[in-house]
Amino acid sequence: MGAVRFLLNDQWQEITSIDPKKSVLDYLRENLNLVGTKEGCASGDCGACTVVVGTVGTNQSMQYKAINSCITQVVTLHGKQLITVEHLRQDGDLHPVQQALVDNHGSQCGFCTPGFVMSIFAMSKDEEALFEEIRQDELPNKDAQREEVLEALSGNLCRCTGYRPIIDAALGIKKQARKAKTNDCFARKQAKTVAELNAISSQPVFFEYTRNGNRKRYFSPTSVAELAEILSAYPNARLVAGGTDLSLEFTQALKGVDVLVYLGRVAEMCRLTESDNHIEIGAAVTYSEARDTLVGYYPDMGELIDRLGSRQVRNQGTIGGNIGNASPIGDMPPVLLALGASVVLRRGAQQRELPLERFFIDYKQTALRECEFIERIRVPKPVDNQIFRVYKISKRIEDDISATCAAFSVFINDNTVDDIRTGFGGMAAVPKSAKNAEEILRGGQWHRDAIEKAQQALSNDFSPLSDFRASAEYRMRVSQNLFMRFYLESQQGADIVRVTQHA
């Protein structure tokens, strides 16, 4: 058996047996009596439980990211460094982030403060990483800096509504971090931390946990071959990468898990690579890791990803997971349907590639066979004369589930529609393309009359339901309107994707 080993600040923690579903938050508070990290929602929404996880980057320096500890299983920390608010104070002095909150009167009742501190700390580490890569005259203007701060803090809620002093503190830290590296203990010990984490990064992890006669197992494979072997032995195992969806079964539905398999150390599934015609996204690649590449080819995807969830959620959640849970309101499947993406599936030593439109069978049902898993997602790169747009409709602008999500990709040559693909979420039991509407447009002229016919055809493609997010009538009407919006925006000509832009 291999134990879970990780650094808590600079002290080793070793776990040889624990309920695999136990969260980092519960482990800190119940096992270690570190109660600075707070529980607010237990669903990854409020940010009170924010901690920072450090991993060794490809350049052999530490990379830090803020995560929600309430929806992260402690067993997934193997080979990483965990930093909590208790560990920031050094040599009797507050960390610069903590001091900035004090100086700007950024703490009201104090319950949410540790989460804000950790989000600002992670942001400061991102800024330090840019220290040697930018010139001072390349610093963003004040408005842009404020927007960056708001984005970094978007996953932290303050019920005292005291955001202004918190934002002021974060702005001060941001400016300070870009001008000079913070000489905190984490920076001073970076080389030692990297060496220690590298020493255990490839160690196998497997253990059993028994309580009241119930035996549970945890696996953390490092290759797809190992993963395939584990699933052959335990076909009913639950797979977890980011855990932003699965964890809610533990924290909200109070369900257990008999066999849990973590994908975050499977090397092949953590890679993002490119071929001449495709972007290859490993199923365990997070939104944060995939964002820049995807947006580089499809700029309109940026707003969708940024609105998909908080930074903490995007740091954990994976595109493979968004596909695998087969939710009808997942935001990435409509985009990938419109782009003609496919999934590469594996069972044992066998692989097969399946168009994404054939992957979703029915509500929460997929084409996955027993012991089969998503290895990677293949996204076609754009071509000349392709226009792509995606629209997310939700009650809140940020960090909210879609009432409907619509994506469109049209290929126009001399105002003739050579091809068109669509993807809709929230309109059926599965993410789905509007086949009748597409057929009306394909091969015809790209003009308003044809779009109006396609709008009407949507009623033959979908029969949406009413729920607390939106009524069926609203979903249908807004989806029809989005079709027209896409057409009107395409007439501006500014959003045609040209391959030469990415050479």
Q: Mind listing the pLDDT tens digit for each residue in 3-14?
A: 999 999 989 999
pLDDT for the residue 497: 41
Give mean pLDDT, residues 468-480: 96
Name residue, tokens 């009808």: 328
pLDDT for the residue 495: 44
Q: Which domains does the chain show, CATH number per domain?
A: 96-183 (1.10.150.120), 205-268 (3.30.43.10), 271-497 (3.30.390.50)
- Integer Cα distance of 29 and 179 in angstroms: 36
Percent of the chain beyond pLDDT 90?
Answer: 81
Neighbour count for residue 502 (Cβ, 10 Å): 11
Residue 267 has pLDDT above 90, yes or no: yes
> Residue 241 to residues 129, 263, 287, 294, 337: CA-CA distances in angstroms?
26, 5, 12, 20, 22
Residue 500 has pLDDT above 60, yes or no: no
* pLDDT band of 129, cuts 50, 70, 90: low
Which among 499, 293, 288, 313 has a CA at the least distance from the CA of 379? Answer: 293
Q: How does pLDDT run across 447-462, given as a tens digit for each residue?
A: 999 999 999 999 999 9
Percent of the chain beyond pLDDT 70?
Answer: 94
- Integer Cα distance of 398 and 61 in angstroms: 32
- 3-state SS, residue 389: strand
Give mean pLDDT, residues 286-302: 96
Name residue, tokens 């944060």: 288
Name residue, tokens 């369900």: 255
Give mean pLDDT, residues 231-246: 95
Which letter does DSSP use for residue 36 in this model? S
How does the average pLDDT of the chain come out, rounded?
A: 91
- Model-level pTM? 0.91
Provide the greatest CA pair distance for the chain: 72
- Tokens in use for 472? 């069926």
Give mean pLDDT, residues 215-220: 95
pLDDT for the residue 488: 94
Which among 284, 265, 129 has a CA at the least distance from the CA of 197? Answer: 265
Which among 355, 311, 351, 356 has a CA at the least distance from the CA of 332? Answer: 356
Q: How does pLDDT run across 391-437, given as a tens digit for each residue?
A: 999 998 878 899 999 999 999 999 999 999 999 999 999 999 999 99
Residue 134 has pLDDT above 90, yes or no: no
pLDDT for the residue 248: 92
pLDDT for the residue 397: 83
pLDDT for the residue 494: 41
Neighbour count for residue 130 (Cβ, 10 Å): 12
